C-alpha cells in the first residue's frame, strides 16, 4: 500500500492535511499528516469516512436522464453532452444567456473551480449568485474594523491566558482547535464558553454563559461598558491604533448590567464576573463562531464582539487574537472570499445575480428572461439554501436542470440529467484554508471510478461541442489529462516561487507573505489606517450604524420556539450523512428540545412530533436535551429532505445586515404531537 499526501477540500474550518493509503486503485485508509502543525493528529470522523465515501456502492458513476418522476436511466456521455449542448444553444438563441442559471457552492474547494466561471464567460454569461451562506456577515464586520481577515496561527492559542469561545463548538466542528485550547488550560489558562447551548465544548470549559440566542451584541456592549468603567482598557494601544473610541465609549453607556441581564437572560453578577475576566486577564484570544453571525444582526454583532479585543489591546500579540477567519493562504485571486458581496461586481456577462440567501424567491422573480435552464455543481441548494419549498418551486418552474453530483441528493432528484462528479481523490487541485495558513495540494491518488469525468473535462467537451474558439478554450480550460491539469495549476504558482507543485506533493507549504502574528506591525488596511470602531463605510455600504450596536431580532411570526440549525460533528453541511459509518451514530434527524418545552405540549422523549411553521412541516423525532435553553429547539443543518426533516424547510430567505449572508437562525417554529 502506498501513502500519498493530500488535504481535505470540504467547506470546513480545519482543512486537514492527510495521507491517503492506496492499493490497486482503491482508497484503503486515511492517516494523519504531521507536516500540518494545525492538524497533526489527523482528521475527524468525516475525514476517516472518506474510505467509505470513495468506495460507496451508492455513488453515481454514469450519466443519467430522468424517465419519470424519481426514476433515472443510464445514458452515454455522448448522449448527455449532445443533449446539454443542444439545450444550451436553444435557450441562449431564443432567450439569451441569462436564461441559464449557473449555481455553484462550496462542496469542494480548489483553483480548478475557476474553470467553470471561464466556461460560462466564454458561453456569453449566465445568471449567477451573490453572497455566501456561511460567514460573510462576520467577514465584513471584521474587515470594516481591522481592514483584513487574518489571525494568529492556530497553535498560538496555546499562549493565551484567557480563551473565550463565543458561539462556537470546536469539540465537534473544529476538533483540532481543542488541542491548543487544552494545552493552554494545562498551563493555567481559563477557558470560557458563551453559547445558547451547553455543547461538548462547554463541558470542557471553566465557565459557560448560556445567553438567549441572538443577543450576543448586547452582552458584548455590556461587557465593554464595565471594562471601560473599571479602567481595564489598554490606553496606549487605543491612543495609537484605534479610531472612534470616545464615540464607542458613549455608545456603551446605555448597556448597564441590569439592562443586558434582561436582554440576554443571564444574571447581572455573571456579566460583571465575565467583564472582569476579559478586562484583567491577558493575553486573551477571542474565538467567535460562524453561528453567532447567522442572524439578521450578524455583522453588527461581530463588530460588538471584536470591540472587546480592541479596547483591551488583544490584537497583534502572542496569545492575543481575534480568531475568526484567516485568509493568508488565499494567495490566488480566484480563491478570495467572500466570493462576491456586490451584485454586478464581476465580469459584465455575469451582471445578473440572485441572492444566495433568497435563492428561490429571487429566481422566481426573474423576468426578461425567466430562468429556463439550471446548472448545479458543488452544491445542494434544495437542502442548504433557505426556504426549501421556494427553492424547489423555482427549480420546477425551469424547463431543464443539470446536476453534477456524487450521490442522489435532494437537488439531484430535481435534475433532468445527472452527471457523475469526481471525488477528491480523482483529480489534483490546489486549495487554501480559512483557519490554518497553508497552501495545500489535494492530490490525485486514484483513477476516476466508473465513467466519472472531472468537471473540467465536462466543460472541455461542452466547449468543443458548442464550437467555442479553440484558442480561448486552450487558455481557459485545461486539457483532460493529468499533465494538462498540472500545467494549468503551475501557472497560478508562477508569482510564488517559494511554492512548487513538487513541494506540495510532499505536504502543505507557506507563502512568503505568511504572518505568524498578523497586525503585530500595527498596520491596519482601513480608510483611516487604524482599527475603526467608528466606520463610515459601514453606513455608506450597508446602511448600518457607524458604531457597533445591538439590533434586536425581528420576530413577526406567531411561533414560540426559536430554531437553531448549527453544524454537526457527523456532517459537513449536507455531505457525509448518507454514509453507513455516520448513520450508525445518527440514523435519522433529531430535534433537540428542553424537556420542559416538550412536556408542556404533552410530548415524551424519543417521540415523533410534527415540526412546523409557515414555511414547512415535517415529522421528526424529539430528543430531550437539558443543554438547550428553554424557548430554543435545535435541528442540525444538512439532513436531506428525502430522509426526513431538513432544517431549511423552515427557514425564510432573510439576508444578514451586511455581507449578504443568510440569517438561518431567524427562524421560529412550534411542535405538536404527531398526527395519528
| Within a domain: 552 | no
Domain boundary among 415, 434, 449: 415
Residues 161, 597: Cα–Cα separation, whole Å? 38
Torsion of CA 468, 469, 475, 478, to 10 degrees: 40
pLDDT tens per residue across span 122-141: 999 999 999 999 899 999 99
Same domain, 113 and 193: no
Same domain, 220 and 267: yes
Residues 251, 256: Cα–Cα separation, whole Å? 11
Integer CA distances (angstroms), 406 to 57, 107, 115, 286, 424, in order: 11, 11, 19, 38, 11
Number of domains in the chain: 3
pLDDT at position 341 is 42
| Per-residue confidence band for 343, with pLDDT thresholds at 50, 70 and 90 | very low
Three-state SS at 350: helix
Same domain, 266 and 153: yes
Q: Give the burial class of 183: count Cβ atoms within 10 A of its Cβ; 0-12 exposed, 13-18 middle, 19 or more buried.
A: middle
pLDDT at 557 over 80: no
Q: Does residue 328 come out as left (phi exceeding 0), alpha (psi in the -120 to 50 range) or beta?
A: alpha
Residues 1, 669: Cα–Cα separation, whole Å? 52
pLDDT at 625 over 90: yes
pLDDT tens per residue across span 294-334: 999 999 999 999 999 999 999 999 999 999 999 999 888 64
pLDDT at position 338 is 38
Q: CB under 8 Å to 576, separation ≥6 — which residues?
A: 46, 49, 53, 570, 582
480 DSSP 8-state letter:
S
| Per-residue confidence band for 67, with pLDDT thresholds at 50, 70 and 90 | very high
Same domain, 180 and 280: yes
| Within a domain: 120 | yes
Q: What's the CATH number where 403 sits? A: 3.40.50.740
pLDDT tens per residue across span 250-299: 999 999 999 999 999 999 999 999 999 999 999 999 999 999 999 999 99
Same domain, 205 and 75: no
| Within a domain: 622 | yes
Residues 365, 359: Cα–Cα separation, whole Å? 10
| Within a domain: 451 | no
Same domain, 158 and 245: yes
pLDDT tens per residue across span 454-511: 999 999 999 999 999 999 999 999 999 999 999 999 999 999 999 999 999 999 999 9
pLDDT at 336 over 50: no
Q: Which of 173, 185, 187, 267 is nearest to 219 (CA)?
A: 267
Q: Which of 256-265, 402-411, 568-577, 616-625 has the lowest mean pLDDT?
A: 568-577
**What residue has cell string 428553554?**
630
pLDDT at position 333 is 64
Domain boundary among 511, 542, 573: 542
Quickly count: other Cβ atoms within 10 Å of residue 76's Cβ. Answer: 11
pLDDT tens per residue across span 143-173: 999 999 999 999 999 999 999 999 999 999 9
Same domain, 605 and 632: yes
pLDDT at 449 over 80: yes
> How many residues does this entry show for the chain?
676
Q: Which of 338, 334, 369, 372 is nearest to 355 (CA)?
A: 338
pLDDT tens per residue across span 32-57: 999 999 999 999 999 999 999 999 99
Question: Considering the chain, what percentage of its residues have pLDDT values greater than 90?
Answer: 91
Same domain, 380 and 528: no
Same domain, 172 and 267: yes
| Within a domain: 368 | yes
Same domain, 239 and 266: yes
pLDDT at 11 over 90: no
pLDDT at position 13 is 86
| Within a domain: 437 | no
pLDDT at 340 over 50: no
pLDDT tens per residue across span 519-552: 999 999 999 999 999 999 999 999 999 999 999 9
Residues 566, 636: Cα–Cα separation, whole Å? 5
| Within a domain: 533 | yes
Once rounded to an integer, what is the mean pLDDT over residues 604-611? Answer: 95
Q: What's the CATH number where 194 sits? A: 3.40.228.10
- At residue 93's C-alpha, the angle toward residues 88 and 99, to 5°, is 60
Strand 284-288 relative to strand 242-243, pairing = unpaired
Per DSSP, the residues of 372-397 read -EEEEES--HHHHSS-HHHHHHHHHH
pLDDT at position 165 is 98
Residues 525, 224: Cα–Cα separation, whole Å? 24
Same domain, 285 and 384: no
- Cell numbers for 139, please give them: 467577514
Q: What's the CATH number where 571 sits? A: 2.40.40.20
- At residue 447's C-alpha, the angle toward residues 443 and 450, to 5°, is 135
Same domain, 292 and 395: no
| Per-residue confidence band for 554, with pLDDT thresholds at 50, 70 and 90 | confident
Torsion of CA 593, 594, 599, 605, to 10 degrees: 60
| Within a domain: 36 | no
Domain boundary among 361, 382, 415: 415
User: Structural domain of residue 378, as residue ranges?
Assistant: 63-131+343-415
Give all strands (DSSP E) within 201-314, no chain letters: 207-209, 242-243, 284-288
| Per-residue confidence band for 339, with pLDDT thresholds at 50, 70 and 90 | very low
pLDDT at position 452 is 98
Amino acid at each position: 500500500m502506498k501513502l500519498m499526501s493530500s488535504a481535505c477540500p470540504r467547506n470546513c474550518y480545519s482543512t486537514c492535511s492527510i495521507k491517503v493509503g492506496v492499493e490497486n486503485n482503491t482508497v484503503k485508509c486515511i492517516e494523519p499528516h504531521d507536516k500540518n502543525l494545525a492538524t497533526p493528529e489527523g482528521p475527524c470522523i468525516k475525514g476517516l469516512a472518506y474510505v467509505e465515501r470513495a468506495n460507496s456502492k451508492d455513488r453515481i458513476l454514469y450519466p443519467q436522464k430522468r424517465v419519470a418522476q424519481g426514476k433515472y436511466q443510464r445514458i452515454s456521455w455522448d448522449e448527455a453532452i449532445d443533449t446539454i449542448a443542444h439545450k444550451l444553444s436553444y435557450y441562449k438563441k431564443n432567450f439569451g444567456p441569462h436564461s441559464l442559471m449557473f449555481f455553484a457552492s462550496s462542496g469542494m474547494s480548489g483553483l480548478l473551480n475557476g474553470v467553470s466561471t471561464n466556461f460560462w464567460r466564454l458561453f456569453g454569461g449566465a445568471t449567477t449568485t451573490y453572497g455566501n451562506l456561511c460567514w460573510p456577515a462576520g467577514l465584513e464586520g471584521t474587515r470594516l474594523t481591522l481592514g483584513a481577515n487574518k489571525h494568529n496561527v492556530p497553535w498560538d492559542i496555546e499562549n493565551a491566558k484567557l480563551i473565550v469561545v463565543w458561539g462556537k463548538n470546536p469539540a465537534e466542528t473544529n476538533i483540532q482547535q481543542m488541542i491548543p485550547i487544552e494545552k493552554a488550560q494545562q498551563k493555567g489558562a481559563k477557558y470560557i464558553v458563551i453559547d445558547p447551548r451547553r455543547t461538548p465544548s462547554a463541558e470542557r470549559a471553566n465557565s459557560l454563559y448560556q445567553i438567549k440566542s441572538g443577543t450576543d451584541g448586547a452582552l458584548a456592549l455590556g461587557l465593554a461598558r464595565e471594562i471601560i468603567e473599571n479602567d481595564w482598557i489598554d490606553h496606549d494601544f487605543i491612543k495609537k491604533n484605534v479610531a472612534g473610541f470616545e464615540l464607542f465609549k458613549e455608545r456603551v453607556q446605555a448597556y448597564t448590567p441590569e439592562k443586558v441581564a434582561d436582554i440576554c437572560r443571564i444574571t447581572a453578577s455573571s456579566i460583571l464576573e465575565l467583564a472582569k475576566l476579559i478586562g484583567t486577564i491577558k493575553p486573551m484570544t477571542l474565538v467567535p463562531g460562524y453561528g453567532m453571525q447567522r442572524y439578521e444582526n450578524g455583522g453588527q454583532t461581530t463588530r460588538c464582539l471584536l470591540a472587546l479585543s480592541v479596547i483591551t489591546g488583544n490584537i497583534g500579540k502572542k496569545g492575543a487574537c481575534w480568531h475568526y477567519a484567516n485568509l493568508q493562504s488565499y494567495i490566488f485571486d480566484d480563491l478570495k472570499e467572500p466570493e462576491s458581496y456586490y451584485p454586478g461586481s464581476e465580469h459584465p456577462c455575469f451582471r445578473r445575480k440572485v441572492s444566495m440567501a433568497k435563492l428561490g424567491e429571487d429566481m422566481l422573480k426573474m423576468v426578461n428572461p425567466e430562468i429556463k435552464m439550471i446548472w448545479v455543481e458543488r452544491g445542494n441548494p434544495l437542502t442548504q439554501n433557505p426556504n426549501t419549498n421556494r427553492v424547489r418551486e423555482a427549480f420546477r418552474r425551469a424547463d431543464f436542470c443539470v446536476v453534477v453530483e456524487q450521490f442522489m441528493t435532494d437537488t439531484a432528484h430535481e435534475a433532468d440529467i445527472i452527471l457523475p462528479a469526481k471525488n477528491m481523490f480523482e483529480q489534483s487541485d490546489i486549495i487554501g484554508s480559512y483557519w490554518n495558513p497553508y497552501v495545500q495540494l489535494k492530490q490525485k491518488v486514484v483513477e476516476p471510478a466508473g465513467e466519472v469525468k472531472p468537471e473540467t473535462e465536462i466543460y472541455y467537451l461542452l466547449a468543443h461541442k458548442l464550437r467555442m474558439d479553440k484558442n480561448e478554450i486552450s487558455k481557459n480550460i485545461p486539457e483532460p489529462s493529468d499533465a494538462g491539469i498540472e500545467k494549468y495549476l503551475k501557472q497560478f504558482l508562477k508569482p510564488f516561487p517559494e511554492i512548487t507543485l513538487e513541494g506540495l506533493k510532499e505536504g502543505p507549504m507557506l507563502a512568503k507573505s505568511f504572518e505568524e502574528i498578523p497586525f503585530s506591525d500595527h498596520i491596519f488596511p482601513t480608510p483611516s489606517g487604524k482599527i475603526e470602531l467608528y466606520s463610515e463605510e459601514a453606513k455608506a455600504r450597508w446602511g448600518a450604524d457607524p458604531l457597533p450596536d445591538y439590533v434586536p431580532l425581528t420576530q413577526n411570526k406567531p411561533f414560540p420556539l426559536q430554531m437553531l440549525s448549527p453544524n454537526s460533528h457527523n456532517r459537513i453541511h449536507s455531505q457525509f450523512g448518507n454514509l453507513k459509518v455516520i448513520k450508525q451514530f445518527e440514523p435519522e434527524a433529531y430535534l433537540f428540545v428542553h424537556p420542559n418545552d416538550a412536556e408542556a405540549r404533552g410530548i415524551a422523549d424519543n417521540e415523533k412530533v410534527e415540526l412546523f411553521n409557515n414555511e414547512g412541516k415535517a415529522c421528526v423525532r424529539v430528543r430531550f436535551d437539558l443543554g438547550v435553553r428553554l424557548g430554543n429547539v435545535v435541528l442540525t443543518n444538512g439532513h436531506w429532505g428525502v430522509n426526513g426533516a431538513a432544517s431549511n424547510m423552515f427557514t425564510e430567505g432573510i439576508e444578514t445586515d451586511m455581507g449578504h449572508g443568510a440569517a438561518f437562525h431567524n427562524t421560529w417554529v412550534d411542535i405538536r404531537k404527531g398526527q395519528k
